[in-house]
Amino acid sequence: MIPARTVVPDVRSLVFRCLMLLPGAVMGLGLIVFSLGLVVFLAFRHNDGSVLGAGWTWSNFQTILTDPLYAQVALRSVMIAGTATAATVLAAYPVAYCIALRGGRWRSLLLFLVTLPFWTSYLLRVFAWKIVLAYNGVFNSVLVGSGILHAPSLAFLNTPAAVVVTLAHAYAPFAILPIYTALEGLPRSLLEAASDLGARPWTTFRRVVLPASVPGVLTASMVVFIPTLGDYVTPALVGGPRSIMIGSLIQMQFGRANDWPFGAALAVAVMLVVAGGMVLGRKLSVGRQG
């Protein structure tokens, strides 16, 4: 047997490969790993008010695990972010479905329409929601005007519900696009096959369309859930005291509480939980695929 000679890339190819890897390596290994390294490093330091803290310790994590407040806030954050994610994804699903399967020639127009609101500044959109939900806002005016309420209600603004609605609005395109992508790739013939075998439209949806869109729904949930969990601007502006989330807590450790190591430990804890959830989710969905 003649031993093989592998195809050896020449110098030009090697240079090319290095050039292609360079930007990613600079960003990835330089900045991302530095940021990540910093947060992990800080998480295990004592706070003495200095930038890098002093001495090594587990105590930050001990506090997080032992003080019930953090579990409580984490639970609340997961509830709010989870509700917001569920609301966003559920509300967006029929829209993505409609664009993907019924859109026809209106498809690109509809896609454009759902991304357009994104062009205004986020803070402006939050303010717009305050106007809608406020005491004398659009919502209350309509309800009072139509006689449903006698006096304007305070129950809209400064509640977790307001956070959920605002987030569901802000993240709409992030939910619609992945679901749209998943459904758009669904072969038409699967729908027809189901109908052909006697499935009514709702059965077809439940047993064929929905399972096919699971990957899209998972992606959508992830890109909505992770950023909302860490959000602190929206709760601060529309949420009231009952909506303070883990993101605000992390933020404040780096700000007025001046305890960077503790903030870093909180961040690491959240990252671990989210990453664990993601791995679990992937395992489950891969398991389903066989």
Could you say which residues in the range 105-164 bind another protein, by CB under 8 A? 108, 110, 112-114, 116-125, 127-132, 134-138, 141, 152, 154, 157-158
State which of positions 203-222 bind another protein (CB under 8 A): 203, 207-208, 211-212
State which of positions 256-275 bind another protein (CB under 8 A): 256-260, 263-264, 267, 270-271, 274-275
Q: With respect to another protein, which residue has the nearer C-beta, 29 or 58?
A: 29
Q: How far is the CB of 283 from another protein (least distance, A)?
A: 17
Give the Å distances, CA to CA, from 130 to 150, 166, 170, 176. Answer: 21, 9, 13, 24
Cβ distance 183 to 213 under 8 Å?
yes
Taking alpha carbons only, the member of 203, 229, 202, 212 closest to residue 96 is 212
> Tokens 């960003």 sit at which residue?
27
Q: With respect to another protein, which residue has the nearer C-beta, 22 or 58?
A: 22
Amino acid at 87: A
Q: With respect to another protein, which residue has the nearer C-beta, 147 or 198?
A: 198
Taking alpha carbons only, the member of 213, 233, 231, 209 closest to residue 221 is 213
Give per-residue burial for 212-240: e unless 16+ CB within 10 Å, then b.
bbebbbbbbbbbbbbebbbbbebbbbbbb
Q: Lay out the site mask for another protein across 183-202 (x = CB under 8 A, - = otherwise).
A: ----x-xx-xxxxxxxxxxx
Strand partners of residue 56:
45
Give the alpha-carbon dihedral of 156, 159, 161, 167, to 10 degrees.
Answer: 110
Q: How far is the CB of 39 from another protein (least distance, A)?
A: 5
Asked if residue 48 binds another protein (CB under 8 A), the reply is yes
Q: How far is the CB of 199 from another protein (least distance, A)?
A: 5
Q: How far is the CB of 282 from another protein (least distance, A)?
A: 13
| Assigned token pair, 240 | 């009231």
State which of positions 10-29 bind another protein (CB under 8 A): 10, 12-13, 16-17, 20-25, 27-29
64, 220, 226, 269: which one binds another protein (CB under 8 A) = 226
# chain residues binding another protein, by CB under 8 A: 138
State which of positions 227-256 bind another protein (CB under 8 A): 227, 230, 233, 236-237, 239-242, 244, 247-256
Q: With respect to another protein, which residue has the nearer C-beta, 82 or 128?
A: 128
Q: How far is the CB of 61 from another protein (least distance, A)?
A: 16
Task: Report the run of H or E that residue 54 belongs to, with start and end.
Answer: strand 54-56
Burial (0-12, 13-18, 19+ Cβ within 10 Å), 85:
buried
Q: How far is the CB of 218 from another protein (least distance, A)?
A: 13
> Tokens 């972010």 sit at which residue?
81
Asked if residue 55 binds another protein (CB under 8 A), the reply is no
